[in-house]
């Protein structure tokens, strides 16, 4: 199944929810926000929201440093 | 050029010949009042370029003193400044670079009690802080005061930039409604940061400010720019204003400032 994640195409071989995908990528779900096909997916919907063929995901990591 | 002295015409000559700047634009910059919150990794390059461009009034907020471990990235401070208040060290460099600039220093920690009062006097705020508590406080205060804010954050080899125009585009909470739980996102002190990451992002913050003051170009509003230094990649993500945003949405639930107390973020990076 083909996906575009942060502008790059990738293949995954099974159907996953947004939450499963984030965990699959080794990302701590508490540290990111997610858009799917241009719409923000709220955190409490990640468990239900399924990633489908040709979906466009943007996974934005929180970076809080400004290095005082 | 009406309001400019001979030495100013020479100092700013390379930007005066740009049609987007010119004498009128330079006067706008000289009248500009910009508050840089944090005189560290982001604030150093941001403030330095703003001073070089002739932004007439620059406010610097920082409660910290210069540490030897800051010098790898905080380019306004030098070895001999270790131990001095960052505001003092930074102000000295900015004044030496450009005597046209009035530098106001606030050697204090921004908090609920002083943030609105301090930002009120400025046209634009540059968020160059090092922790989420201050970031959310500043976002909420700027939304409440209707103050444009140029937001940036860095960690390791990554940077993030967005320009917040309250009422017109998304605010920080539209993208990140709540801070991450304490400890989930490490600080630069814990996880490290390559010096050029805040360098690149701080310069881009200055660029956003200069464009806003001049009223030229297209601000990075409704868009978030990410930078990865390892791969030298920039990515732009469109981000809409969230009608349910707790601070700038249609029915805001945050009407008064409050401060997050995030245990792992008491100290800066």
- Closest Cβ opposite residue B158 in set A7, A58, A63: A63
Tell me, rounded to whole angstroms, the distance of Cα B22 from its chain centroid: 25
| pTM for the structure as a whole | 0.94
Structure tokens at B135: 């970031």
- Cβ of B130 within 8 Å of Cβ of A63? The answer is no
Asked if pLDDT for residue B118 goes beyond 60, the answer is: yes
Q: Quick: pLDDT tens for B149-170.
A: 999 999 999 999 999 999 999 9
* B127-152 pLDDT, tens digit each: 999 989 999 999 999 999 999 999 99
Q: Do A64 and B127 touch (CB under 8 A)?
A: no
A68 vs B154: CB contact, 8 Å cut-off? no
For residue B165, how far is the Cα from the chain centroid?
A: 14
Residue B260 has a pLDDT of 85
Q: What is the ipTM of this complex?
A: 0.90
Q: Name the 3-class secondary structure at A60.
A: strand
Which pLDDT tens digit goes with each residue over B89-105?
A: 999 999 999 999 999 99
pLDDT, residue B266, reads 39
Residues of A near B (CB-CB distance < 8 A)?
Answer: 6-7, 28, 30-31, 33, 35, 38, 40, 58, 60-68
As a whole number of angstroms, the distance between CA B253 and CA B245 comes to 8
Q: Is the dihedral of CA B16, B196, B86, B114 positive or negative?
A: positive
What b/e sequence results for B139-167 when a residue is b if at least 16 CB atoms lie within 10 Å of its CB, and e otherwise? bbbbbbbebbbbbbbbbbbbbbbbbbbbe
* Three-state secondary-structure class, residue B47: helix
The sign of the torsion formed by the CA atoms of B130, B131, B135, B137 equals negative
- What is residue B248's DSSP assignment? T
Question: CATH code for A2-60?
Answer: 3.10.20.30
On whether the CB atoms of residues B185 and A31 are closer than 8 A, the answer is yes
Class of domain B32-261: alpha beta
Kindly list the residues from chain B whose CB atom is less than 8 angstroms away from the CB atom of residue A58.
237
pLDDT above 70: percentage of residues in chain A: 94
Q: Are residues B156 and B193 in contact, defined by beta-carbon separation less than 8 angstroms? A: yes
Residues B173-187 have a mean pLDDT of: 87
C-alpha Rg value of chain B to the nearest Å: 18
Query: Which among B145, B132, B180, B104 is positioned nearest to B257, based on CA atoms?
Result: B145
Nearest to B64 by CA among B44, B37, B39: B39
Alpha-carbon span B68 to B220, nearest angstrom: 34
Which residue has 């926000």 as its token pair? A33
Q: Do A66 and B42 touch (CB under 8 A)?
A: yes
Q: H/E element holding A16? A: strand A16-17
> Confidence class of residue B1 from pLDDT cuts 50, 70 and 90?
low
What was the pLDDT predicted at B30?
Answer: 98
Measured distance CA(B100)–CA(B117) in Å, rounded: 25
**Confidence band, pLDDT 50/70/90 cuts, at residue A66:** low
Q: Is the dihedral of CA B122, B199, A66, B242 positive or negative?
A: positive
pLDDT at site B191 = 86
Choose the closest CB to A65 out of B39, B86, B269.
B269
Which residues on neighbouring strands pair with residue B225, listed in sequence order? B161, B236
């Amino acid at each position: 199944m083909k996906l575009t994640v942060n502008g790059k195409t990738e293949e995954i071989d099974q159907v996953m929810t947004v939450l499963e995908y984030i965990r699959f990528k080794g990302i701590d779900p508490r540290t990111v926000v997610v858009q799917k096909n241009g719409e923000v997916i709220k955190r409490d919907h990640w468990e239900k929201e399924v990633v489908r063929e040709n979906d466009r995901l943007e996974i934005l990591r929180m970076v809080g440093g400004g290095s005082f | 050029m009406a309001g400019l002295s001979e030495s100013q015409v020479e100092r700013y000559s390379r930007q005066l010949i740009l049609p987007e700047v010119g004498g009128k634009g330079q006067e706008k910059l000289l009248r500009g009042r910009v508050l840089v919150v944090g005189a560290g990794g982001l604030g150093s390059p941001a403030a330095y370029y703003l001073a070089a461009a002739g932004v007439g009034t620059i406010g610097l907020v920082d409660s910290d003193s210069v540490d030897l471990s800051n010098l790898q990235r905080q380019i306004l401070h030098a070895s001999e400044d270790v131990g001095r208040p960052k505001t003092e060290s930074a102000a000295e460099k900015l004044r030496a670079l450009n005597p046209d600039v009035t530098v106001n220093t606030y050697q204090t920690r921004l908090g609920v009690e002083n943030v609105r009062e301090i930002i009120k006097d400025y046209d634009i705020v540059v968020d160059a802080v090092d922790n989420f508590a201050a970031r959310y406080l500043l976002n909420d205060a700027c939304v409440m005061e209707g103050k444009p804010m140029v937001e940036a954050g860095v960690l390791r080899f990554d940077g993030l930039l967005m320009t917040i125009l309250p009422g017109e585009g998304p605010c920080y909470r539209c993208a990140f409604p709540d801070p991450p739980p304490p400890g989930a996102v490490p600080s630069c002190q814990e996880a490290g940061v390559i010096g050029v990451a805040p360098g690149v992002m701080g310069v881009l913050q200055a660029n956003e400010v200069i464009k806003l003051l001049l009223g030229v170009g297209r601000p990075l509003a409704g868009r978030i720019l990410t930078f990865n230094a390892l791969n030298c990649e920039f990515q732009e993500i469109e981000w809409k204003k969230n009608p349910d945003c707790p601070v700038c949405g249609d029915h805001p639930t945050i009407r008064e400032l409050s401060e997050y107390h995030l245990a792992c973020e008491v100290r800066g990076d």
